Amino acid sequence: MEYQFPYAWPAGEIARCAGEAGVEIVLHNLPAGDFAKGDRGIACLPGREREFRDGVERAIDYAKAAGCPRLNCLAGLAPAGREHFAVLVDNVRFAARKLGAAGLSLTLEPINTRTVPGFFLSRSAQAIDVLNAACSPASATCSSPTCPGATSRAAARSTSSSCCAASTPSGTRAGWDANTIPGVIRSKA
């Protein structure tokens, strides 16, 4: 079973109810800001990094209590731009490392802009760019056309999605589906 946000209830209560219902919790979202105030995620929002990181810690506690193996990250509402992209990459990297250390996985969810107008991450290719950048410290100087710093988006669409071919400690190539940092990160799209 997947649910969006368990945070209005104590973690133990969520776990108890799931156990009594006989359901397996497979995913829930990281805290995503205040929906009543229009937030639809905070992972890409400059100035809210501390809130995001505190939310990761809280989400781990909830996931562990309920036996939930993975958490989903919502980028948030923001215009396309390097600053928002950089904040999202840093936050995804942080979350994946924390979740990996806790034995959990992280997913990153693009949402179409018809369902959530203005959502920062609206295409699978964007999610792959974020995951590649989060997996590789070399991304800041990447020359791959799929990298967010590429000058030609047409070239980006026509090439492989493997960005930032940096070597990882295991000698494998960094990529969106590689286990290059703790907390296997994959796009839900």
Into how many domains does the chain fold?
1
Q: pLDDT (tens digit, 9 = 90+) per residue, 94-125? A: 999 999 999 999 999 999 999 999 999 999 99
Q: Is 6 within the bounds of a domain?
A: no
Give the span between the Cα atoms of 89 and 129, in whole angstroms: 9
Q: Give 32-40 contacts, CB < 8 A, sequence gap 24+.
A: 32/5, 32/74, 32/76, 33/76, 38/77, 39/76, 39/77, 40/74, 40/76, 40/77, 40/111, 40/116, 40/119
> Range of 59's domain?
11-139+176-187
CATH number at residue 85: 3.20.20.150
State the number of CA atoms in the 13 A half-sphere of 117 facing the CB: 0
What pTM value is reported for the model?
A: 0.73
Distance CA 15, CA 25 (A): 9
- Per the domain annotation, does 56 fall within a domain? yes
What's the whole-number mean pLDDT along residues 130-150? 54
83-95 pLDDT tens trace: 999 999 999 999 9
- The answer to whether residue 123 sits within a structural domain is yes
Residue 150 lies in a domain: no
